[in-house]
Amino acid sequence: MAADRPPRAETGTIAGVLANLRRTPRRVRRQSREFIETAVSQLFDAAAHHPHGAAGTGEYRIEELARLAGTTTRNIRVYRDRGLLHPPLRVGRIALFNDTHLTRLRLITSMLDRGYNIAHVREMLNAWEEGKDLADVLGLESAIVGTWATEKPETMPLADAQRLVDDVEAFDRLVKLGLIRLDGSQATVVRPKLIKAFNEIRGYGVSIDTLVDLHEQIVPLVDQISEMLVRAGAEHVASRIKPGEPLPPDTEIAELITMLVRFRTQAVTSVAATLASSIESTIESLVSRILADYMANSPEAEAN
């Protein structure tokens, strides 16, 4: 084993990576930044392959898989037949699915809920598996959707909207922010994807108050970015359509409108890719600091 590289995790899980790190002599762990970077890479690889538990050894029969993914066994069989899910492990007559199937199934269900058909889902999953980056996948999504509005509001009974948020004070804040509109006994969730994201992150123990606070802080910054991007497109239009001068031919105006629509798609794609890269770097730096402190204070290494 190289002196500046952590030992390879035996199980490929987060628990395995940490166990190997604890067995590494402290003098080795202190002497190389590459050691930390490699350890962080191993942790993220383990988390990506086993996202639903440190052990990552979950095996599920089709009934349990359907329950965990919030779908039906019939749907799972359809997805298998259509090539969206990989074959399960066969043990005699029993089909066993694992955490990878569960993650993929949840992704399929999410995309179908958002209005994609099975052919579109297959295209996006194939793009993802082929290693295309976020910009490629978002560009494919934009081409598939082909609509101006990125998010459709959802109207439901007020009681259903309140259950969706499941927090009285947070619900009132979302109403004041305009993310939920009330009309008698009905409520319109203006940003259903945002509320869904809130609820998923809450599952990790983050309070919804914290998430709403973040939303309030982020929106003005996003608006600034939007204004900068749109201004660039507007300046191009202004160079072609000038006050007091005859309008260009209809074909040229149509071309400008099409350009603005495409500009929006490409702006979203590029900003999302840039933001994703920044978030990844920030997370890696954070985990590196946590991991360095973890290894420096690990009692198992004292004797090494």
For residue 86, the tally of other CB atoms under 10 A from its CB is: 13
Question: What pLDDT sits at residue 184?
Answer: 93
Distances (CA, A) of 36 to 135, 184, 187, 283, 289: 29, 56, 49, 14, 9
- Read off the pLDDT of residues 55-113 as tens digits, 9 standing for 90 and up: 444 688 899 888 888 889 999 999 999 888 888 888 888 888 888 788 788 888 877 87
- Read off the pLDDT of residues 204-229 as tens digits, 9 standing for 90 and up: 899 999 999 999 999 999 899 888 88
SS (H, E, C) the chain: CCCCCCCCCCCCCHHHHHHHHHCCCHHHHHCCHHHHHHHHHHHHHHHHHCCCCCCCCCEECHHHHHHHHCCCHHHHHHHHHCCCCCCCEEECCEEEEEHHHHHHHHHHHHHHHCCCCHHHHHHHHHHHHCCCCHHHHHHHHHHHHCCCCCCCCEEEEHHHHHHHHCCHHHHHHHHHCCCEEEECCEEEECCHHHHHHHHHHHCCCCCHHHHHHHHHHHHHHHHHHHHHHHHHHHHHHHHHCCCCCCCCCHHHHHHHHHHHHHHHHHHHHHHHHHHHHHHHHHHHHHHHHHHHHHHHCCHHHCCC
Secondary-structure class of domain 57-115 per CATH: mainly alpha
28-37, 122-131, 160-169, 220-229: least confidently modelled range: 28-37
Using alpha carbons only, what angle is made at residue 133 by residues 131 and 138, rounded to the nearest 5 degrees? 120
For residue 93, the tally of other CB atoms under 10 A from its CB is: 5
Percent of the chain with pLDDT over 70: 70
Confidence class for position 290, pLDDT limits 50, 70, 90: confident
* Domain boundary assignment for the chain: 57-115
- Read off the pLDDT of residues 160-194 as tens digits, 9 standing for 90 and up: 999 999 999 999 999 999 999 999 999 999 999 89
CB within 8 Å of 247: residues ≥ 6 apart: 241, 253
Question: How many whole angstroms separate alpha carbon 263 and alpha carbon 228?
Answer: 13
Cβ atoms of 13 and 287 within 8 Å: the answer is no
Question: What pLDDT sits at residue 1?
Answer: 44
